[in-house]
C-alpha cells in the first residue's frame, strides 16, 4: 500500500470513529486534520469534498461490516444457522465493532433519510441490499425445509431488521442490559412462527 493510501486509510479510520459518535454531518475536516497531524488542505486533498469524505466513510464502514458480520455468518452450514448468525453478529457489531457510537448505518439513515443526494442514495442501497440478503437467506431456509413453504420471506427479513432496530435503541439509548437476550428471543419466536 502506498504512503498516500496508508494516510487515506488512517484518516478514514478516525473519520469513521468520529462519525459514529457525531454523525456524518458532524465530521470536522479541522478535527480530523489535527488528529492526523495534517493541514486542513492536506486532508481535504485526499477527498475533495465533505460529501466525498462522507461516502468514503460509509464505504469503509461497509467493508468493516462485511468482515465483521457477513463473512463469519456465511460460514454457517444451514440457512437457518446463517440467519441466526447474521443477527448475532449484527448485535455484536453494535457493541464490539470498534465504533464508539454503535451502528453508523443506523445513525446515518436517520440523519439522511429526508435528504436527497449521493450519501442518502448510498445508505438506502446498502439497507435494501442487507434486507435482500436476509430475505434470500430465509428463502434458502424454506428450500432446505427449515422454514414453512409459502413463507413471506421479505416480511420475515423486515421483521428481523425490526428486531435489530429495537435492540439498538434499547441498548444504546436506554442502556437496557437485557436488550440482547430479548432480541435473540424475538428472533427465536419469529423463526418458530415461520416453521
Q: How do the pLDDT tens digits run along the chain, 195 residues long? A: 677 678 778 888 888 888 888 889 888 778 888 877 888 887 778 788 888 889 999 999 999 999 999 999 999 999 999 999 999 999 898 888 777 878 889 889 999 999 999 999 999 999 999 999 999 999 999 999 999 999 999 999 999 999 999 999 999 889 999 999 999 999 999 999 998
Which of 1, 130, 117, 7 minimizes the C-alpha distance to 61? Answer: 130
Which H helix or E strand runs over 99?
none
> Using the 8-state DSSP alphabet, how is residue 184 labeled?
H
Q: Determine the pLDDT at residue 150.
A: 94
CB 147 within 8 A of CB 138: yes
Assigned C-alpha cell, 87: 443477527
| Domains, the chain | 52-193 (1.10.357.10)
pTM comes to 0.87
Assigned C-alpha cell, 34: 489535527
Which of 89, 81, 61, 100 minimizes the C-alpha distance to 167? Answer: 89
Amino acid at each position: 500500500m502506498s504512503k498516500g493510501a496508508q494516510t487515506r486509510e488512517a484518516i478514514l479510520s478516525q473519520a469513521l470513529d468520529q462519525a459514529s459518535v457525531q454523525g456524518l454531518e458532524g465530521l470536522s475536516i479541522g478535527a480530523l486534520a489535527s488528529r492526523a497531524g495534517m493541514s486542513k488542505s492536506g486532508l481535504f486533498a485526499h477527498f475533495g469534498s465533505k460529501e466525498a469524505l462522507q461516502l468514503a466513510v460509509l464505504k469503509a464502514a461497509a467493508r468493516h461490516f462485511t468482515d465483521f458480520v457477513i463473512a463469519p455468518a456465511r460460514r454457517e452450514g444451514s440457512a437457518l444457522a446463517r440467519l441466526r448468525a447474521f443477527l448475532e453478529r449484527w448485535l455484536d457489531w453494535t457493541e464490539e465493532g470498534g465504533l464508539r457510537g454503535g451502528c453508523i448505518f443506523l445513525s446515518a439513515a436517520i440523519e439522511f433519510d429526508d435528504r436527497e443526494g449521493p450519501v442518502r442514495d448510498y445508505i438506502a442501497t446498502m439497507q435494501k441490499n442487507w434486507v435482500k440478503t436476509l430475505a434470500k437467506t430465509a428463502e434458502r431456509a424454506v428450500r432446505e425445509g427449515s422454514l414453512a413453504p409459502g413463507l413471506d420471506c421479505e416480511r420475515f427479513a423486515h421483521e428481523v431488521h425490526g428486531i435489530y432496530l429495537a435492540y439498538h435503541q434499547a441498548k444504546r439509548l436506554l442502556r437496557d442490559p437485557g436488550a440482547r437476550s430479548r432480541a435473540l428471543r424475538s428472533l427465536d419466536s419469529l423463526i418458530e412462527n415461520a416453521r
